[in-house]
Amino acid sequence: MRIYLNILLLLYIAFYLYSCASVGTPEGGPKDAQAPKLLESTPVNKSLNVSGKTISLVFDEPVRLKDLNRQLIITPNTNNTFETKITKNTLLLEFEKAFEPNTTYFINFREAVEDITEGNKAANLSLTFSTGTYLDSGQVKGTVRELYTNAPEAKTNVVLYPANDTTTIRKHKPFYLTQTDDKGNYQLQNVKEGEYRIYAHQDRNNNMLYDNDNERIGYLGKSIKVTAATPEQNFTTVRIDTKKPLVEQSEKFLEEFRMNFNEGLSAFKINKMDNTPAPFISVADKRGNKIAIFPTAPNASGKYLVSATDSAGNTRLDTLNITFEGKKAPRAGDAYTLPLEGNQLTKDTPLHLTFKVPVKIVEPLGAVTLVQDSVNRKALNFPQDLKLNPTATVLSLNTPLTAKKTVQIILDTTKVLPVSGDRFRQQNTRLEVSNKITVGGLSGRIYTDYKRYWVEVLNKAGEVVQVLDSPKILQLDRLVPDTYRIRVKIDEDNNGQWRAGNADLITIPEKIYHYPNPQEIKANWEIEIKEPDPLLKF
């Protein structure tokens, strides 16, 4: 028993001594929110006649480096490699070779230096010095925005190349470089005065080159003169697509041939080998990258000339073997759908039957029957009461709605047939009529001297829902409740097409005007764009 008590006593004493000696992390207290401050540098900022190959920075607290290779910008661009050393609060950059004579250097650390406790970034940390008798005073600043959205381009390279030099942005690193901030603003300073080519481009692979077609680029198409008072140079960036559309996959069926392209198409055409029209109807999906081909004549398999053009105007011409064989194409579900604004039918709702495949009307009389309020029955005839769109996939009913309660649509599947394949199954659609107004409107006068332009209306998801060709008055009467933006593509050269730029980096894109205020459309509400709001003026 005595031994047991002695052991307990020893354990208690040991625990007490350990508790007294242990030092825990203090709880509470202010968090370090102070960024490191530069106390001194060698050379001193804006020094002249600097020689040597070492830069020293002394801070008011211990620091560390983070992502220096990506953050550090040295202009003019140099191949002079360096090593870094940190001793507590001192940072050394030791270059392999001495600095170039008669050169003004601008070194911007951006967010590369931080304290070791909380990672607070040293703000506005840069250094300017000259190895000659003066500092170069040339500067240029401006803003970079994305052409289609007008959104600021953050962390985008803005670069200068001497105008009389043979270097190119695709193969050579720039002479001067900076990056935009989060608002798309940039400033190049301490530049040697002279003529330069200037570009703004994304640099996803961080190699300081424009060598990726997926990167957006902005350019002016001509050189600029950089002085101490250079006018602002603003850019809009665009992705310049130089690749022709490519068929990634094809699939053949007994009554249909499907092609999947690597991108959306703006135009698609099939001709016979003698360049006469082929016996097909081709239908694209919403994105434009999936094309379905339907034969309109028997024995249509064979070789054809196929032309596919993307939105950038790149066209691929191919000879393809298009065959109709194998199993039937899957066509489950209803023959058609009836898109409704706000999912409700009103007396003003247009009736558009959207088919999954192109159709042909083999008997025009009574192809569709419309029954209103169960008693008013009318046989609709083609083309007086019915209209087919160019791809024969949308059948519009051109007859007024007088129903107060119900509308029934009866499709005669012996008179309306798919252009190829089996007949549709019977489909009768019955809809209830609502007196509730589910759409809104937007209007406004357009002020412009341009003769040709296209007004695009985009929903909140950024999808183009309507395109108007050169209207003098904006009048949109049937907008589903949503938040909309308005942009205008301007045909500056009046050639009937909007130009999106060119791979030569000389031919600039034509202008896009962005109306600054989004428009929130509500049901049964009409908005007019007028003062004091900004006018539609471009």
pLDDT, residue 8, reads 44
Most trustworthy range by pLDDT among 166-170, 237-241, 454-458, 503-507: 454-458
**Region 477-494 average pLDDT:** 96
Under 8 Å between Cβ of 536 and 516: no
Strands (E), 342-425: 351-355, 359-361, 368-372, 376-380, 386-388, 394-397, 406-411, 416-418
Query: For 1-15, 99-113, 293-307, 485-499, which range has the lowest pLDDT when averaged over its residues?
Result: 1-15
**Region 202-226 average pLDDT:** 93
pLDDT, residue 206, reads 84
- State the pLDDT confidence band at 69, using cuts at 50, 70 and 90: confident
pLDDT of residue 437 exceeding 90, the answer is no
The domain spans of the chain are 38-130, 138-239, 247-322, 336-432, 440-537
Q: SS in 3 state form for 25-40?
A: CCCCCCCCCCCCCEEE
Strand 38-42, strand 54-59: pairing = antiparallel
Domain range 440-537, CATH architecture? Sandwich (2.60)
Tokens encoding 71 = 């953050």
Under 8 Å between Cβ of 233 and 200: no
Render pLDDT for 353-392 as a digit per residue (tens, 0 to 9). Answer: 999 999 999 999 999 999 999 999 999 999 999 999 999 9
Which has more pLDDT, 22 or 88?
A: 88
**Region 520-536 average pLDDT:** 95
pLDDT of residue 494 exceeding 60, the answer is yes
pLDDT of residue 15 exceeding 80, the answer is no
- Cα 414 to Cα 73, 77, 425: the distances in Å are 73, 75, 10
pLDDT, residue 345, reads 84
What are the residues whose beta carbons fall under 8 Å from the beta carbon of 95, sequence distance 6 or more?
53, 54, 55, 80, 81, 82
Under 8 Å between Cβ of 122 and 35: yes
**Region 491-497 average pLDDT:** 95
pLDDT of residue 14 exceeding 70, the answer is no
Query: For 185-194, 342-351, 496-505, 529-538, which range has the lowest pLDDT when averaged over its residues?
Result: 342-351
Nearest in space to 399 (alpha carbons), one of 383, 386, 382? 386
- State the pLDDT confidence band at 157, using cuts at 50, 70 and 90: very high
What are the residues whose beta carbons fall under 8 Å from the beta carbon of 229, sequence distance 6 or more?
none
Nearest in space to 283 (alpha carbons), one of 274, 270, 272? 270
Render pLDDT for 97-107 as a digit per residue (tens, 0 to 9). Answer: 999 999 999 99
Render pLDDT for 291-345 as a digit per residue (tens, 0 to 9). Answer: 999 999 999 999 999 999 998 889 999 999 999 999 999 887 889 999 886 667 8
Distance, in Å, from the CA atom of 1 to the CA atom of 6, rounded to the nearest integer, reads 9
pLDDT, residue 343, reads 64
Under 8 Å between Cβ of 283 and 355: no
Distance, in Å, from the CA atom of 282 to the CA atom of 89, rounded to the nearest integer, reads 70
Nearest in space to 112 (alpha carbons), one of 156, 155, 63? 63
- State the pLDDT confidence band at 7, using cuts at 50, 70 and 90: very low
For the domain spanning 247-322, the CATH number is: 2.60.40.10
Most trustworthy range by pLDDT among 336-350, 430-444, 455-469: 455-469
Strand 440-447, strand 526-529: pairing = parallel
Report the CATH fold assignment for 336-432: Immunoglobulin-like (2.60.40)
Distance, in Å, from the CA atom of 333 to the CA atom of 400, rounded to the nearest integer, reads 28
At residue 317's C-alpha, the angle toward residues 279 and 147, to 5°, is 110
pLDDT, residue 341, reads 67
Do domains 38-130 and 247-322 share one topology? The answer is yes
CATH superfamily entry for domain 138-239 = Immunoglobulins (2.60.40.10)
**Region 488-505 average pLDDT:** 94
- State the pLDDT confidence band at 209, using cuts at 50, 70 and 90: very high
- State the pLDDT confidence band at 2, using cuts at 50, 70 and 90: very low
Report the CATH fold assignment for 38-130: Immunoglobulin-like (2.60.40)
Q: What torsion, rounded to 10 degrees, do the Cα atoms 374, 380, 386, 392 define?
A: 90
pLDDT, residue 342, reads 61
Average pLDDT for the chain: 91
Distance, in Å, from the CA atom of 153 to the CA atom of 185, rounded to the nearest integer, reads 8
